[in-house]
A and B are shown apart, each in its own frame.
Chain A
Amino acid sequence: MTEKRYRFDTERRQFVTGLAALPLLATWPGHGRTQNPAAPVVPELRGIRFELSVGASPVNLTGKSAWAKTVNGSLPAPTLRWREGDTVELRVGNRLREDTSLHWHGILLPAGMDGVPGLSFHGIAPGESYLYRFRVRQAGTYWYHAHSSLQEAVGVYGAIVIDPREPDPIAADRDHVILLSDWSDEDPHAIVRKLRKQSDYYNLHKRTVGDFFRDARRDGFDAAVADRKAWGRMRMSPTDLADVTGLTYTYLVNGAPPAANWTALFARGEKVRLRFINGSAMTFFDVRIPGLRMTVVAADGQPVHPVSVDEFRIGVAETLDVVVEPAERPYTIFAQAMDRGGYARATLSPRSGLQADVPPLDPRPILTMQDMGHGGMAGHDMSQMKGMEGGCGADMKMPAMQHAGHDMSGGMIAHPASETGNPAVDMQTMTPSRALDDPGIGLRGNGRRVLSYADLKSTFADPDGREPGREIELHLTGNMERYTWGFDGIPFSKADPVRLNYGERLRIVLVNDTMMEHPIHLHGMWSDLENADGEFHVRKHTISVPPGHVRSYRVTADALGRWAYHCHMLLHMELGMFREVRVDA
Chain B
Amino acid sequence: MLLFLMCFALPALAQHEGHDMSQMSSQPSASDKPQATSPAPLPAPTTEERAAAFPDLHGMDMRDHMDDDPVIGMLQFDELEWQRSSGTSGDDAGLAWNLRSWLGRVDDRLWLRSEGERRDGRTEHGDIELLWGHATGPWWDAMLGVRHDFGQGHPRDWAAFGVQGLAPYKFEAAATAYVGDSGRLAARAEAEYELLLTNRFILQPKLEVNLYSRDDPENGIGQGLSDAEFGLRLRYEIRREFAPYLGYVWSRKFGATADLAQAAGGDRSEAQWVAGVRFWF
Contact = CB atoms under 8 A, between A and B. Distances in A.
Interface residues of B, number: 70
B24 to A, nearest CB: 10
Contacts of A393: 7, 10
Interface in A194-219: 194, 196-198, 201, 204-210
A3 interface: no
B88 interface: no
Interface stretch (A4-12, A19-27, A396-404): A396-404
A426 B139 contact: yes
A481 B196 contact: no
Contacts of B170: 232, 235
A474 interface: no
Given A391-B3, A484-B69, A466 B38 contact: yes
Contact of A531 (B6, B15, B22, B62): B22
Interface stretch (B40-48, B181-189, B216-224, B250-258): B40-48
A24 B25 CA distance: 49
B74 interface: yes
Given A406-B15, A462-B36, A235 B168 contact: yes
A549 B178 CA distance: 46
A506 interface: no
Contacts of A423: 106-107, 135-138
Interface in B184-215: 195-200
B11 interface: yes
Interface residues of A, number: 94
B157 to A, nearest CB: 30
A110 B69 contact: no
Nearest to A198: B240
B14 interface: yes
Interface string A376-415: 0110011011001001110010101101001110000000
A118 B63 contact: yes
A502 B72 CA distance: 41
Interface string B17-28: 110011001101
Nearest to A380: B14
Contacts of A112: 52-53, 55
A445 to B, nearest CB: 13
Contact of A400 (B3, B8, B57): B8
B38 A575 contact: no
Contacts of A198: 240
B91 interface: no
Given A122-B60, A391-B6, A392-B7, A196 B72 contact: yes
6 contacts: A208-B196, A208-B197, A384-B14, A482-B135, A493-B66, A560-B53
Given A111-B53, A492-B62, A585-B50, 19 more contacts: A110-B52, A110-B53, A122-B57, A205-B199, A206-B196, A210-B197, A232-B170, A378-B15, A382-B10, A401-B7, A406-B11, A406-B15, A464-B38, A465-B36, A481-B166, A484-B69, A503-B42, A533-B22, A560-B54
Interface of A: 110-112, 116-123, 149, 192-194, 196-198, 201, 204-210, 229, 232-233, 235, 377-378, 381-382, 384-385, 388, 391-393, 396, 398, 400-401, 403, 406-408, 421-426, 435, 437, 454, 457, 460-466, 479, 481-482, 484, 491-493, 502-503, 531-533, 535-537, 556, 558-562, 564, 574-576, 578, 580, 583, 585
